[in-house]
Structure 1
Amino acid sequence: MRDSFDVVVIGSGAGGAPIANRLVRQGKSVLVFDKGPLLRPDYEVPGRRSDYRRDELFSSGAEKILRVPGLANAGVSYYSSHVEPDINDEPHVYRGPDNRDYGTIEGYTAQVVGGGTQLYGGVSLRFTPTDLRLKSFNEQRRSPLKDDPAGDVKREARDWPYDYATLEPYYAMAEELVGICGTNDNQQKPFTSGNRYQPPLQPNPISAYANDGMAELGRRLGSNIEPYRTPLAVITRDHAPSGRKIPRDAAGNPDPESAKTSYVNRYGDPLGLKSNTWVSLLGPVAREAGFEIRPNCVVTHLSSQNGRVTQVHYLDPGGIARTVSGRIVVVACSAIESVRLLKLSAAQDDDFDRRINQNPLLGRYFLTHCFGGARALMPGRFDKSKALDADWATDCCATDEFLEANNLWAGAAIYNNTSDQALPLSLFRTHGSQDLDTLWNGFMSDVGMRADGFIKFLDDEFGRGLSISFMANQVPQFDNRIELHPTVKDKWGRPVAYVIKTWHPHDRYLMDTMARQCGNVLRYGGDPVGRNYPIQGQGAIYMAENALARMANHILGGARFGTDPKDSVLDPQNRAWEFDNLYVTDGAFMPTSGGANPTLTIQANAFRVADHLLTRV
């Protein structure tokens, strides 16, 4: 096998695939590693039978028992799909509120080529200009912050080393090359490069309540900001950059509405309509002479000499230790695992250790998102199996005026979850659950879920539930961090990732504020006359029993970029400061987590870094 490339990319998701796509198309040689398998859609498989299985539909397979010694939750049952790691082999460990250590599958989006883009909901929102300048905004703000008595926000917030105008053309590039549908009217972000969205599909009828409620919320807040169709990573027209085609009906006409199955967004998509990074960016260059992908390979560590990464060490699918080299090495295996890889490398290589730890920040300022929302049972019953993930979104809680009026440090995107609990199976799976480790737990523990109670639950819930969600910036904290666990090791004998995090008091205030606005969307939308429709509840993730584990699969921070080598791990081009050829391009680079789902921003930044790399190779 070839053992030397222009660029070696570790990770095939949102942070790695854009770099590989851009450089291969410019004639460079690129090797992409992924720990998981390559699952192909049906049009790439002879006989048109895709590689996808359907156990991710209910995240099960057989019940498993956590058997990792030394963990407080050893002995509990858990369920995982075929694209998630067995946490007996390589758990993530987090420190609970009782200071004991717990194993969790949280922080793994998917262990498969394409990473989290294979299973994510596809919500592809841009960050606002203020999201990239929260230090400046809060230093200049007119109103005081709520619940920040020690002044942590002003001390710990950081502006990004570039502004929104710099990133905007790369947002447009990602929207076009990845393949995203939606509308830009009413978004409170500039689209100076033009609208690159494909048109959205018709919304599910239940989403009319969300649309009405969001419009009324904008009026009540005084901004009159109207909702817009949520940008989703799903193609609705033939997509020239990737060569993907929309299904045809019996007469041979394009039938984009056939994408609305409630599975395209939430689960592996055998049709290739969801724009995961394999079908949109890597598959289209797979036959190019310069491209190679090695799935089912575990990169164990990097070694360096004089500030250059000289070897990438990995285990091939048979467990044989091998090495490759690259003029450039890009780490993009999701923030927790990227930080872990850098720390494992430092533990084995003095030169690497001295350079990556030139300041104490590697692993620090780990971020997820403040998230939560509200839910109600709406009038009528709707076929939610014919839906995509989110139909409507609003930016009315992301404006500077809203932040000043509500004493908030940062804003949030709000959108509805159309396909939540679309089938009875998903109603039962998530009923009362706390995280991925305890799916089915609430259902199995609910002694009233039998006989007439079972029928009543179905009759009340099925086809009527509508939820509204928010995503918002988490306050950066130095002590929120990723370490190597001192005793727990994976099946290869390497220390596993140890996640230590808390919620800042302002995080809780922010989440309470945003959850109330999500509840108002349902109150205003469900009752257009009285505007006080009853909701089942509203809240945020910090209220959950295992809130410190929950990450919304938005794994960010831990290797933030900046302009000062004493205050950041990476430079403005995402290069590790003391290295000539080491870059980190997944969500680890973010100094703040943004007021929206992060995948599109990770992709846009990766395209930006790719243009920089083209000047070097």
Structure 2
Amino acid sequence: MSALESARSADDAEDTAARLASVTWDAVVVGTGMGGGTLGHELARLGRRVLFLEKGITDVDPASGAITGSYAEQTFDLARLTDEEHADRLARAGRSSAWYEDSTPGRKPKRFQPISGSGLGGSSALYGMVTERLFREDFTPRGNFADVGDSTVPEAWPVKYEEMVPWYQRAERLYRVRGTADPLRPEDDTDTLLPPGPVTARNAALAEFLSGRGLHPYGLHVACEYRPECATCETFLCARACKNHAGNVCVTPAVQELGATVLDRTTAVRVEATRTRVTGVVARRDGQTHTFRGRVIVVAGGALQTPVLLLNSRSEDWPGGLANDNDLVGRNLMRHFMDVYLFRTPVKKSVPGQTKEVSVNDFYLADGDKYGTLQSMGHIPPYEFLMNYSREGRRLLGPLHGLARRPWRTMMQDRFIVLAAIMEDLPRAENRVLPADGSGPRGPLLQLQYKVSDQDRARHRRFHRRVRSALGRYTGSLLPPVHVSGIDMNTALGHQCGTCRFGDDPRTSVLDPDNRAWGLDNLYVVDASMMPSSGGINPSLTIAANALRVGHAIHDAL
């Protein structure tokens, strides 16, 4: 069996899928991202027979047509591509071409294509590699906020921070996380962190400026090898094997060294179950339908697509959707409020990559309320990305490409450094994900409904005032940093979570403390949908650490 199953012809594809569908696996894992990839690797390491089902392409070799080291949008002119050609380019760049619809009540419905992963490593293959632990206080979230309004945020997670520490440590070792200690969290161990990458002149100057403003910068925790000419590759596939993501850290070793199997280009469409047990995953591959069976089924398609899969798995035993007796699947969607601050740097020399270096948490908990973190974001995207990201953008920016491309690079990309302000949003029952029709090339796969609460909006204003006051004017600039707010941008998805939350009570949660669906003996969910609160920091490391924890619970159950 080859390391990564990818059939050469239609007949081979059908034979491969049929052969794998004839096996009863210890675990069938839907998705190869941070949750599914990490858990599958751990189960394989423990001697279990694991089958990964991945809807995207697992071959990331440029010789086979994969697009690495740049945005897919830098390789084409959208006006010259058909929808099918565009979908192919995105697939070869590890991106999903699925359409979503923002159907929030009170808004005009809007269809969009978010930047999400589809392929080896899922969205972790595109992530910015930030792998930070949640704060200790995040595990008792409700008491952190001055006003929660009608939020469903719980008093506590079903696991304590102390229980997660050994799993955080293992995840940091597994993903080779680099960084320095946060001076505001002196109680956290940092023994598992590798030394940070070399600090560029721009970030050194920025850290000095932040320290001079009374803040406490430290080396951002990133799962990066910082090889020569590292570009930190946020939102596109890495070309130099710098990025430690679930695909190359977990899935490929699980297949090549531990006996696991991955079947790509395979889309799960529903999960079959009796009243108490899951019996198989029905999936489509190259126009054929197959049912894959395992003693345990693990769903890890992400916080948007996992609930849609469960809701589409209706049956006589589960008329409202699988694991959805209490109408909680898909609810409590959170997506973080992501603002950016653009600093015009006094360091004139352009430095490619290595921009994910600095973080400050002085705003995480302040004056009896909870805000979030401020951290390096990376480069401003190139003009070609802005122009080719959507048909609308192509019509507006395409005619100016010849004139604007070079000034955009020299005036914006080469002279600005970007910090992202990430603020925790609170879960609310009416913020949710629902299945959509999905018919036609532009038919939406799912619809989301998300409205910012009055309490979150007021807290976001206070957060921005605090950041603006603390930053002041950057050294060498006549103006304060340029601020771009993302609070109302439902289409700018990055840290979505919460749609299948775990908890201690089946009346208020979808999953039990071991991430097993209430009422089902062998269905588990291990992606970001399990989070009952979003925290104020990137969720990647928490997803990986929790997947390791759940992997051992599944192994014990088997």
Q: Do the structures match in fold with TM over 0.5?
A: yes
CA drift of 1:355 comes to 5.7
Residue in 1 that maps onto 2:430: 479
Alignment of 1:234-253 (within 5 A): 234-236=224-226
Residue in 1 that maps onto 2:108: 100
Are the structure 2 counterparts of residues 372 and 189 from structure 1 closer, same or farther at C-alpha, using a change threshold of 3 Å? farther
Q: Distance in 2 between matches of 1:599 and 1:376?
A: 26
Are the structure 2 counterparts of residues 403 and 35 from structure 1 closer, same or farther at C-alpha, using a change threshold of 3 Å? farther
Residue in 2 that maps onto 1:228: 218
Give unpaired runs (5+ residues) of structure 2.
Answer: 1-18
Amino acid corresponding to residue 415 of structure 1 in structure 2: Q
Residue in 2 that maps onto 1:247: none
Partner-residue secondary structure (3-state), 1:16: helix
Range with bigger deviation, 270-279 or 357-366: 270-279
Residue in 1 that maps onto 2:541: 600
Q: Distance in 1 between matches of 2:94 and 2:247?
A: 17
Partner-residue secondary structure (3-state), 1:213: helix
Alpha-carbon deviations, 1:363-422, whole Å to 9, x = none? 11111111103113222412231x2241110111113xx142xxx3x231111234334x
Contact between 2:178 and 2:196, CA under 8 Å: does it hold in 1?
yes
Contact between 1:468 and 1:518, CA under 8 Å: does it hold in 2?
no
CA drift of 1:102 comes to 1.9
Residue in 2 that maps onto 1:27: 47
Residue in 2 that maps onto 1:371: 338
Are the structure 2 counterparts of residues 427 and 515 from structure 1 closer, same or farther at C-alpha, using a change threshold of 3 Å? farther
Range with bigger deviation, 466-475 or 59-68: 59-68
Q: Distance in 2 between matches of 1:19 and 1:459?
A: 44
Amino acid corresponding to residue 36 of structure 2 in structure 1: G
Q: Distance in 2 between matches of 1:177 and 1:92?
A: 33
Are the structure 2 counterparts of residues 580 and 281 from structure 1 closer, same or farther at C-alpha, using a change threshold of 3 Å? same
Contact between 2:29 and 2:51, CA under 8 Å: does it hold in 1?
yes
Alpha-carbon deviations, 1:69-121, whole Å to 9, x = none? xxxxxxxx99956346674xx41111257543221112x51111101111111
Q: Distance in 1 between matches of 2:465 and 2:326?
A: 40
Alpha-carbon deviations, 1:288-326, whole Å to 9, x = none? 46411111111111111231101111122x221111211
Alpha-carbon deviations, 1:414-435, whole Å to 9, x = none? 11234334xxxx145348x9x8
Contact between 1:394 and 1:413, CA under 8 Å: does it hold in 2?
yes
Alignment of 1:353-502 (within 5 A): 353=320, 356-385=323-352, 387-399=353-365, 402-404=366-368, 408=369, 410-421=370-381, 426-427=382-383, 429-430=385-386, 443-444=397-398, 459-485=410-436, 487-489=437-439, 496-502=445-451
Is 1:345 the counterpart of 2:313 in the alignment?
yes
Contact between 2:27 and 2:49, CA under 8 Å: does it hold in 1?
yes
Contact between 2:267 and 2:284, CA under 8 Å: does it hold in 1?
yes
Aligned pair partner of 1:523 in 456, 472, 491: 472
Partner-residue secondary structure (3-state), 1:175: helix
Alignment of 1:45-64 (within 5 A): 49=63, 52-54=66-68, 56-59=70-73, 61-63=76-78
Amino acid corresponding to residue 374 of structure 1 in structure 2: Y
CA drift of 1:62 comes to 4.5
Contact between 2:71 and 2:385, CA under 8 Å: does it hold in 1?
no
Alpha-carbon deviations, 1:8-39, whole Å to 9, x = none? 10000001011111111111101111000113
TM-score, normalization by structure 2: 0.87
Contact between 1:374 and 1:537, CA under 8 Å: does it hold in 2?
yes
Alpha-carbon deviations, 1:319-340, whole Å to 9, x = none? 2111121111100011111011
Q: Distance in 2 between matches of 1:443 and 1:492?
A: 22
Partner-residue secondary structure (3-state), 1:165: helix
Q: Distance in 2 between matches of 1:65 and 1:105?
A: 19
Is 1:117 the counterpart of 2:107 in the alignment?
no
Q: Distance in 2 between matches of 1:295 and 1:354?
A: 26
Contact between 2:78 and 2:391, CA under 8 Å: does it hold in 1?
no
Is 1:282 the counterpart of 2:251 in the alignment?
yes
Range with bigger deviation, 588-597 or 97-106: 97-106
Q: Distance in 2 between matches of 1:436 and 1:275?
A: 29
Residue in 1 that maps onto 2:171: 174
Are the structure 2 counterparts of residues 501 and 67 from structure 1 closer, same or farther at C-alpha, using a change threshold of 3 Å? farther
Q: Distance in 1 between matches of 2:467 and 2:386?
A: 20
Alignment of 1:189-200 (within 5 A): 190-192=187-189, 194-200=190-196
Is 1:295 the counterpart of 2:255 in the alignment?
no
Partner-residue secondary structure (3-state), 1:470: strand
Alpha-carbon deviations, 1:195-248, whole Å to 9, x = none? 21221121221112321233234x2xxxxx521111111125xxxxxxxxxxxx
Partner-residue secondary structure (3-state), 2:338: strand
Q: Distance in 1 between matches of 2:161 and 2:440?
A: 40
CA drift of 1:478 comes to 1.0
Amino acid corresponding to residue 93 of structure 1 in structure 2: E
Partner-residue secondary structure (3-state), 2:52: strand
Contact between 1:262 and 1:384, CA under 8 Å: does it hold in 2?
no
Residue in 2 that maps onto 1:305: 274
Amino acid corresponding to residue 482 of structure 1 in structure 2: V
Are the structure 2 counterparts of residues 615 and 78 from structure 1 closer, same or farther at C-alpha, using a change threshold of 3 Å? closer
Partner-residue secondary structure (3-state), 1:366: coil
CA drift of 1:160 comes to 1.2
RMSD: 3.2
Amino acid corresponding to residue 30 of structure 1 in structure 2: V
Is 1:205 the counterpart of 2:201 in the alignment?
yes
Give unpaired runs (5+ residues) of structure 1.
Answer: 43-48, 69-76, 139-143, 220-224, 237-255
Amino acid corresponding to residue 33 of structure 1 in structure 2: L
Are the structure 2 counterparts of residues 328 and 135 from structure 1 closer, same or farther at C-alpha, using a change threshold of 3 Å? same
